[in-house]
């Protein structure tokens, strides 16, 4: 068979929809020798990771932990645990990841009702309330930060509507957690999940999830076993809680890295970190406007973490991305689903959110597009 040489990867500047660049401190911590998943030292680290996750989620939820998979495993954990066959689920669909929610909820036997909007738009509390008045839902799922469109779904006034109609609110925070406010307790969101590889600043491999008291109560009232053994939150909570009952072997090194990344968020401070993400997004948007490039999402609903740039007429979007990658070692993303070929997706998240990256990308785009 072929004999393979040393890993020989040209480093990139990651300005796509994720993974984002990882600070050397986090990478160094990732490579520390593993200890066992029941080693008292690792159990202490688990407590620290949970405490730091609560800080970033702005919650006191006891059931807050990283599940052992990438962001999509967070989505899977949410639907596997909070949907039973026959449950009515309402999903606001205006992007690729809310479409994924529809597919996933259906696989767990939910009666899914869709509330559709064009990709890049968001939902109002009134729309959700109207839909629930027609027919209540056990679970309402929204994407807080839609990675496919760059739209920011306001959540602050949604939970009260959902609760008034007896449901639980589930929010996908993959592209928001650690980069913009995610106030689980203040907004009264019942279930939220994220990934480590975007605004958190760690490599991909873990999916933080948090579950509030209403949702924990619902979990304890389930009639059927969670069909997904690996992501069963009730048994996971026995490993992450005081019982420390063995469930599965945790990805030790990824938890080292997550701890370090969260510690860096703590050092920076949440407000400063959000301001940094906002400032560099503004800088990037201003540069795009100077080049007369259009943005897909209206300013008031625009994510500071992920920007969708309209591809100008006559420009080959893939060719531009290839040039960025090959000539400058800069990665940005293309459009997904309904936006395929129409937008570029630029992430300024975590360690990638730096002025030097904004300047570099703007300069490279100027050169390639001749603007």
Residue of 340, 267, 328 lying closest to 119 (CA atoms): 340
238 binds a second copy (CB under 8 A): no
Distance, first Cα to last Cα, the chain: 49
Pairing of strands 139-143, 88-93: parallel
Nearby residues of 273 by Cβ (< 8 Å), 6 or more positions away: 178, 179, 265
Cβ closest to a second copy, residue 74 vs residue 120: 74
Cβ closest to a second copy, residue 36 vs residue 294: 36
195 binds a second copy (CB under 8 A): yes
Number of residues that bind a second copy (CB under 8 A): 79
Cβ closest to a second copy, residue 105 vs residue 155: 105
The residue range among 123-131, 222-230, 287-295, 309-317 that interacts with a second copy, by the rule CB under 8 A, is 222-230
**Dihedral angle sign, alpha carbons of residues 65, 254, 262, 20:** negative
The residue range among 87-95, 96-104, 130-138, 179-187 that interacts with a second copy, by the rule CB under 8 A, is 96-104
Which of 133, 164, 222, 225 contacts a second copy by CB under 8 A?
225
Nearby residues of 164 by Cβ (< 8 Å), 6 or more positions away: 129
The residue range among 115-123, 138-146, 151-159, 242-250 that interacts with a second copy, by the rule CB under 8 A, is 242-250
Percentages helix, strand, coil for the chain (3-state, rounded to 5) are: 45, 15, 40
Sketch the per residue contact string, 298 through 327, with a second copy: x for CB under 8 A, - otherwise: ---------------------------x--
List the beta strands (DSSP E) in the chain.
13-14, 63-67, 88-93, 111-116, 139-143, 145-146, 151-152, 168-172, 191-193, 207-211, 306-310, 330-331, 333-334, 343-347
Taking the CA atoms of residue 174, residue 179, residue 180 and residue 184 in that order, the dihedral angle to the nearest 10 degrees is 50
Which of 111, 244, 263, 301 contacts a second copy by CB under 8 A?
263
136 binds a second copy (CB under 8 A): no
18 binds a second copy (CB under 8 A): yes
118 binds a second copy (CB under 8 A): no
Interacting positions 35-64 with a second copy (CB under 8 A): 35-37, 39-42, 45, 48, 51-52, 55
203 binds a second copy (CB under 8 A): yes
197 binds a second copy (CB under 8 A): yes
Cβ closest to a second copy, residue 128 vs residue 254: 254
Q: Coil, helix or strand for 119?
A: strand
164 binds a second copy (CB under 8 A): no
Nearest-angstrom CA–CA distance, 88 and 72: 22
């Amino acid at each position: 068979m072929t004999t393979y040489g040393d890993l020989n990867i040209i480093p990139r500047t990651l300005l796509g929809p994720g993974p984002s660049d990882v600070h050397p401190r986090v990478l160094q911590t990732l490579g520390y020798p593993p200890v066992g998943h029941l080693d008292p030292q690792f159990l202490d680290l688990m407590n620290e990771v949970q405490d730091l996750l609560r800080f970033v989620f702005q919650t006191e939820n006891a059931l807050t932990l990283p599940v052992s998979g990438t962001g999509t495993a967070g989505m899977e954990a949410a639907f596997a645990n909070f949907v039973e066959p026959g449950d009515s689920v309402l999903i606001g669909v205006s992007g690729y990841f809310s479409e994924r929610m529809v597919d996933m909820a259906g696989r767990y036997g939910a009666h899914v009702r869709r509330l559709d909007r064009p990709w890049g738009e968001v939902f109002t509390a009134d729309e959700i309330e109207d839909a629930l008045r027609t027919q209540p839902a056990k679970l309402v799922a929204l994407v807080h930060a839609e990675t496919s469109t760059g739209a920011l779904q306001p959540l602050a006034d949604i939970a009260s509507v959902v609760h008034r109609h007896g449901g639980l609110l589930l929010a996908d925070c993959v592209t928001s957690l650690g980069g913009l406010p995610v106030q689980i307790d203040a907004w009264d969101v019942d279930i939220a999940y994220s990934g480590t590889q975007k605004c958190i600043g760690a490599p991909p491999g873990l999916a933080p999830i948090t579950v509030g008291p209403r949702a924990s109560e619902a979990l304890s009232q389930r009639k059927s076993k969670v069909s997904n053994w690996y992501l069963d939150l009730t048994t996971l909570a026995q490993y992450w809680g005081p019982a420390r009952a063995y469930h599965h072997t945790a990805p030790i090194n990824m938890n080292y890295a997550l701890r370090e990344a969260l510690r860096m968020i703590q050092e920076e401070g949440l407000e400063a970190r959000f301001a940094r993400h906002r400032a560099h997004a503004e800088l990037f948007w201003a540069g795009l406007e100077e080049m007369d490039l259009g943005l897909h999402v209206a300013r008031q609903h625009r994510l500071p973490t992920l920007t969708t740039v309209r591809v100008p007429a006559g420009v080959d979007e893939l060719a531009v991305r290839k040039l960025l990658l090959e000539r400058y070692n800069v990665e940005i993303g293309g459009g997904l689903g309904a936006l395929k070929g129409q937008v570029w997706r630029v992430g300024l998240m975590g360690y990638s959110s730096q002025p030097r990256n904004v300047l570099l990308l703007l300069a490279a785009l100027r050169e390639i597009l001749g603007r």
